[in-house]
Amino acid sequence: MKRPIVRLSSLQLTNIKNVKKGIIYMPNTTNKILLADKAEVLGIYGQNGSGKTAIVDALYFLQKVMVGANLDHSMEDYIDMDSNKAEIMADFNIFIENIVFEVGYRLYLSREEKEVFISREVLSVAKNENGSRTNKTAFMDYQRKLKDSIFKPKNRLDEVVEANKEIKTDLIVARKIAEKSNCSYIFGESSREIFCREYTNGFKQYSFIISSLFEFALKDLFVIRNTHSGVISANFVLPMAFRIENDSVGAKGDFTVPLTEPILVDEERKNILETIVEQINIVLYTIIPGIQVTIKNYGKQSLNHGEQGWRLELMSKREGMKEIPIRMESEGIIKIISILNALIQAFGNPSICLVIDELDAGVFEYMLGELLDIFKKSAKGQLIFTSHNLRALEMLDKESIMFSTTNPNNRYIHMKSVRESNNLRNMYIRSITLGGQSEEIYEETDSLKIARAFRKAGRGVRNE
């Protein structure tokens, strides 16, 4: 069977960081379009500290949960301090042949004595086929507190154990393993192996949905957080987000290259790095004229376990100039190199969802606008980003921009009353100063008070 296309439709946060409630919608969802043949770009803009990064962090943790990893201990810091419960609710569209599954995944988190655990998971689905749509109903509902129930509804459980009654014992064991290791019950390795088997009964489509979501989180969802840019700014390492899938190599992740010294790699990692650089160079010289990334090979060297390895260093080469170490390039160029392979993947693959926090960091304003415009017009995948640079507001449609607000109970909105002839950037600035939107989008600052505070602080410095 042809591999399905999975697309994020919307994301709702409850009690995550400073977001008591907030929902973002992808452009196709806003426009009520159920297609997967074109790019979707969503930029999230707003005041500092207004919940933009919460979206990126939530998708990062959601990805970890959906690949069956243990819940990150740092999650405790992301739950609103006024509450001991939080929710991340993601809606996806799964496209396969002439069928579209509208799938909702609800992740409920609870905190007890500074420990966070998954208290409930719910998967629901509606099926679109040949112009008709079924009602959206839950087909798997795991609740940690219900010790006597493996999961609900019972008819779905019966379908799983229909062929072999001993599977029920395996499901009970898998549940205990998931709760002990603090990972997802639905996507945890032990239970996922059971749910994703070959079924011939009514559970067949549900097995397909679970495996499709797992594959999406594992192979197609890229989340590039602030920490990615932070290590670049420190001129310490270059983390290159990448995805390679061909006959000889298949991998995804961050290929971390030290900027202070050559890297020692085995043959497999050497091949991966060469493939990444080859793909990057096809596009890089068109973005930054005349520049190419090269790999300087210092020769063979034994690895710690005795196998043969290679000492390699990333270099920058410009026309008519000698190669220099990549660390000598500007932060903006290194930032572009670090995300370029992921951008290439999202450009050509409709199932890729690339999420980047502070996309504009170190990137020239005009270049940022050009990249977004090209992606919007010609790409196939999804791009979600946060930014402070307002150039994107002049390049993207109103459905492709959401704004964070000062209201923690309604954190994200679309700008209202926007006509095609309007400049969204000008409207945003006007709304900051004059209001007129459904929610306040900027908590007003007083320039006189700021100046007075600086003078007061300055006097204290001089008196020391």
User: Over 70: is that where the pLDDT of 48 sits?
Assistant: yes
User: Over 60: is that where the pLDDT of 284 sits?
Assistant: yes
- Among 29-38, 99-108, 246-255, the range with the most confident prediction by mean pLDDT is 99-108
**424-429: average pLDDT:** 84
Please report the pLDDT score of residue 49 as a whole number.
86
Between strands 263-265 and 308-318, the pairing is antiparallel
Amino acid at 460: G
Please report the pLDDT score of residue 234 as a whole number.
65
In whole angstroms, what is the distance from residue 411 CA to residue 362 CA? 27
Q: CB-based contacts of 240: which residues, under 8 Å, 6+ apart?
A: 254, 255, 256, 257, 276, 280, 337, 338, 341
Please report the pLDDT score of residue 437 as a whole number.
84
Contact yes or no for 225/63 (Cβ under 8 A): no
Please name the helix (run of DSSP H) or strand (run of DSSP E) that holds residue 434, with its range, or none. Answer: helix 424-434
Amino acid at 10: S
**445-451: average pLDDT:** 78
pTM for this entry = 0.92
Chain centre to alpha carbon of residue 258: 24
Please report the pLDDT score of residue 100 as a whole number.
96
* Helix-helix angle 154-161:167-181, to 10 degrees: 120
Please report the pLDDT score of residue 424 as a whole number.
84
User: Over 70: is that where the pLDDT of 1 sits?
Assistant: no
Q: What is the DSSP secondary structure assignment for residue 131, as one 8-state letter?
A: T
15 burial type by CB count under 10 A (0-12 exposed, 13-18 middle, 19+ buried): buried
On average, the pLDDT of the chain sits at 90
Please report the pLDDT score of residue 426 as a whole number.
85
